[in-house]
Each structure stands twice: as structure tokens, then as C-alpha cells.
Amino acid sequence: MSLGYTTATPEMKASVAEMVDRMMKPKVKPDGLSFTMGWDVVASYSEKQINDLLQVRHRQSNTGMLQTLSFTYQEEDIQTEEYFDITYDLRFGPPLVQFDAHSLGQPMCTLEMEIVEGAQTVPTRKRNPVRPMPPGWKLRLHDIPLASVRGRISEEGAAVHSDIISSDRPVHFSMTEKETQHVVLGFQLANTSYKLTLVPPATGEPSPMMKALDLPRFEKYVNKYFQDDVHALSYSIASLNNVKRDDSPNLQPVKFQFATFKDHERGILSLFIQVKGGFATGRTQGLQSHWQNQWEDNGIQPIPKRFTASLLLSSNMLHRVLFQQAFKGQGWEATNMSPTNEAENRISATLKKPWTVPEQNYDYDRNSKFHVDGFTLELEKWPLTLTIRQDEPKGSPQVYAHWTIDQDVDWKAHTGIVPLGSGVIKAKFRLCDERDHNQPRRLDCKIRLDDESFGLDMQLNTKVFRMDQGKDHKSEIDFLTWERGMAGLWTQSPNVTLNSVGLGILRATNLLTPGGNSIDFNEEIGIKAPKDFLLVGDVLET
């Protein structure tokens, strides 16, 4: 994945903003306000990009795709009552996949191929025994189920065949072997009963030789090809591997399923992925119909208009796999506290190591000294709350922090050996809004999209902390000295740094070539966080 874009047009921004807005305020709320159907990751690709892939593969040799078809059958001469041979030689253009909007039980599609060249040969015909066929006819296969198959495509382009799994069942990856699973057109499924039709050219009269074609026999030969000769991987339209990158969190696919979306504008294929360490809560039964209905009910598509690909990362998965692991590596324990039906992600994090503030002494009025005791505080009772929220659909997600730590600190004042006074500073350390200390502070935090993944860069420092005190300045101590003491306390507030964390799943989902990158995410659009995290872009050109 690389970032080919540097800008986004106003129309592109508006399209994404509309999708984000409706995901934040859906007419029909999905469970937990998550649009991933309980899966960890959903990668979606447009029908157009899939057809571009098939077109490229069709141009390659030895791919096993239907390019030419020859067959011969016999007809009886009515006058002589003798049989003669009729041979058809057909050459097909690249296939065109169209998803079925009405398939509910499992994803279905139609495959259409144009007959770009052909000839009818009748050896016994004295004049013009070979006659060219007019172009424009199309072969259309209806009701083809989608399926999955494990295997690889060799460098020569030949497909390696293995068992085909129906799309209404989730596919589990091996935990001991590296493997690639493909989404394919399931011609060879046991229950496949697709229909075949010949579509004449849009204009002009059908030619006599096509009228003379014995359609049942033609169907027989076409069906024989797709049942016996075609390899499943020849018609692979997407793939996913379980190879884990060492430089990313544990986003290793362990299971996947797929579904399609179709409306009057376009079709979309979506891969639903469960990752290692994620949640085994993905819907499997009725996934196809629920996925279609979810987007129809809310008047949007899985990919915003003017883009051809998207990636949805589940809010729950991000908390467990990304946020919790990132905090743990720096001595924190993070808990997902996100409200179920609110469009925000909320993290409660407790520091698992004590916070120590040393004692301080300040000289004033020659012989006077202002002493502030030090302390060590266990912070498990004082959690930091972080909120990631999409305030504006057109903008970037904002990160807010609120941290309250209360501690009584003893102080004393001395002049030589004579004590002048003592007391308690009721220190209230606050990471908060500058004006309203009861409200969270918006952080200068970047959710970054780079050339292979996205990361979260966050750093809190003492400058953004505030300290309130329960009582006013003590008259026994010089005002400026008191202020120095208070500053000495609040500048000791805990430092918090969350190192950059990236997600390598962007390399795992792959449409064009197994093991390669697939989506060119739009850098200016960046990451959106209606609740799940959303990235949009286009499939890389081959």
C-alpha cells in the first residue's frame, strides 16, 4: 500500500463525510454502533476493480480462464436424410462479474463474456464452408455462487486446485502453516445450478448462423467446460493470507467469510476477517442478507462514492489488539470503556507503577525557607480517561484526555530554627480543559496514515497539566515563593508517552497479487472514526 494521493477533491471529501455522518447517526443502529457485523476487519472492493483484475488475468496465457471454445455436433439434412457436422470456434473477451442484489442465503453473481470472434464451419457446404460470426453476442451465466479455495497461482499463471468451500461457511486458517485463501466463482460446487443464456447484440438482427445454433447443445459444451476444465483459482476475485509481519501488532487472520452488496449504482465485495487476539463474535449465519440490509437501511454503501475500496477496523478489536497492547508496553493497563451506543471510543488507563514527587525547599526573606514534602502515590485509583471522537464528519478524529489525581501534601515554613507555620496543600492535579477543569482537554495528537499502515502518536507532558489547590496562598510565606512551590508541584505531573503503533493488516488484505499490497489509501482523507475506524481509497493499478 502506498500513498499516491496528496489531495482529495471537494466531491470526494463530501462523499466520505456523508458516509461518516450516517454511521455516527444511523437510522437503524447496528449492535454497539459498529458496522463490521462483529468481525474485526472488513475490507471492501468495488465490482469494477474486480473486473479489471479478471481482464488482466484473461490477457495472460495458461490462466485456465475461458478464452476459446470449439465444439462439433451433427445435424440431419432434411433432403438427403444424411447427417453432417457443424463446428463452432469461439473466442471470448474478458469476463464481467455482476453481483446479485437479491441473493440472501449466500453471495451470488452473474458472469458475462462477449464473443469477440467466431466462425461456423460446415465441411459439406460447397460455398463458404467457413463463415465468420458477427461480433456482439454475449454469453451470460446466471446464479453463480461465490466460494473460497485454498491454493496458489504459479508464476506461469496456472492454477492449483484444492477443495472449494461454500460462501455461507466461515473459512479457518491453519495456525501451523502459511497459506492463502481465495474468493472464487464456485462453478464446481456440488449444488451449483447456474443458468446460461445467449444475449444478442444490442442493435441489428441476429445472424442466421446464431439462430441456427443448437442452444441446448451449446449449453452442454459450455457447462462441461466450467464443470470439468476450469480451475477454481482461474476465477479468483480476492485473496487473503495469514502471514504475520514481525513489525506489526498481532493482526494475523485466523478466519474469514465474505458477502456482497449491490444497489442500482454498483456492486461491492467485502471480506470479513477475524484476527489473532481479536473477537470470535463475527456473524456467520445470514451474513449476506444482514450486510446488504445494514447499508440499505441507512442509505449508504460500504465504500463511499468516488472511491473503489475501503477498510473498516472494529472498535472492539482496536481496543484489544492496538490500544491495550500499546499501553501495556509502557506500564499501563487499559480498559475499553466505550459507551455502547455513542459514536466515540473511550479508554480508561491506569499506570501500574508508582508516581514519586521529591521534596522541595525554597529560600525567601534571607533566612526563611518554604518546605514542601515529597510523596509517592500508587496511581491505580486514579485512571486516565482518553476519548477518541469524530467531532466533524469532514475533519480528523480528535483525542481528548481527562486525568484527576488528588493528593494532600504537607508544607512547613521556617526562619532559622523557628517554625513559622505548617499546613496541608490539597493538590488537585488535572489534565483537563484550560478553562473548565472538569472537562477533558483536546490533545495535540496525530492519528497517522503512512505508506504501510496507520499509527497513533500521542504524548502528554507536564505543560498541559493544571494543579488546583484547596486553599489560598498562606500569609506566612512570600506570595512569589508560594507560587514557586505550587509550580514545583504541578510540573512534577506524570509524563505519558504512547509510542507510534502501526497496523500491518493493510498488507494482509490483497486483491491483485497474493502477498502484495492492495489499497492505495487517500492520504488527505486520512482516518475517520465514526466508532469503527474507516479508511478509503482505490485498488492499486496493475
pLDDT by residue (tens digit) across 55-66? Answer: 877 887 667 788
Q: In this model, does residue 368 exceed pLDDT 90?
A: no
Highest mean pLDDT among 200-214, 218-232, 233-247, 291-305: 291-305
Kindly state the percentage of the chain with pLDDT values over 90. Answer: 29
Per-residue pLDDT at 250:
55
Indicate the pLDDT class of residue 532, thresholds 50, 70 and 90.
very high
Residue 122 near residue 129 (C-beta atoms within 8 A): yes
Task: Please indicate whether residue 140 or residue 451 has the higher confidence score (pLDDT).
Answer: 140
Per-residue pLDDT at 390:
96
pTM of the shown model: 0.84
Nearest one of 72, 82, 159 to 120, comparing CA atoms: 72
Per-residue pLDDT at 74:
86
Indicate the pLDDT class of residue 158, thresholds 50, 70 and 90.
very low
Residue 539 near residue 54 (C-beta atoms within 8 A): no
Q: What is the pLDDT of residues 370-425, one digit of tens each?
A: 999 999 999 889 999 999 999 999 998 998 999 999 999 999 988 876 777 888 88
CB burial of 243-259 (b: ≥16 within 10 Å; e: otherwise) equals: ebbeebbebbbbbbbbb
Listed in sequence order, the DSSP H helices in 419-478 are none
Q: What is the pLDDT of residues 81-113, one digit of tens each?
A: 889 898 989 999 999 999 887 777 788 889 999
Indicate the pLDDT class of residue 436, thresholds 50, 70 and 90.
very high
Nearest one of 489, 467, 468 to 411, comparing CA atoms: 489
Q: How far apart are CA 236 and CA 252, in angstroms?
A: 21
Q: What's the grid cell of residue 130?
A: 467457413
Indicate the pLDDT class of residue 4, thresholds 50, 70 and 90.
very low
Per domain, the residue ranges of the chain are 10-47+238-314+506-539, 48-178+187-235, 331-498
Q: What is the mean pLDDT of residues 116-140?
A: 86
Q: How far apart are CA 337 and CA 335, in angstroms?
A: 6
CA 7, 12, 15, 20: dihedral to nearest 10 degrees? -10
Q: How far apart are CA 50 and CA 57, in angstroms?
A: 11
Task: Please indicate whether residue 34 or residue 151 has the higher confidence score (pLDDT).
Answer: 34
Q: How far apart are CA 12 and CA 542, in angstroms?
A: 23
DSSP 301: -
Residue 118 near residue 88 (C-beta atoms within 8 A): yes
Q: What's the grid cell of residue 529?
A: 472514526
Q: In this model, does residue 512 exceed pLDDT 70?
A: no
Indicate the pLDDT class of residue 157, thresholds 50, 70 and 90.
very low
Per-residue pLDDT at 5:
47
Nearest one of 399, 531, 415 to 457, comparing CA atoms: 399
| Cα–Cα–Cα angle for 443, 444, 448, rounded to 5 degrees | 115
Per-residue pLDDT at 19:
98
Q: How far apart are CA 254 and CA 43, in angstroms?
A: 15
Indicate the pLDDT class of residue 445, thresholds 50, 70 and 90.
confident
Q: What is the mean pLDDT of residues 323-348?
A: 89
Q: In this model, does residue 514 exceed pLDDT 70?
A: no
Q: In this model, does residue 240 exceed pLDDT 80?
A: no
Per-residue pLDDT at 421:
84
Q: What is the mean pLDDT of residues 227-250?
A: 69
Per-residue pLDDT at 454:
59
pLDDT averaged over the chain?
81
Indicate the pLDDT class of residue 539, thresholds 50, 70 and 90.
confident
Per-residue pLDDT at 2:
42
Mean pLDDT lowest among 119-128, 243-252, 379-388: 243-252
| Residue found under cell 493538590 | 427
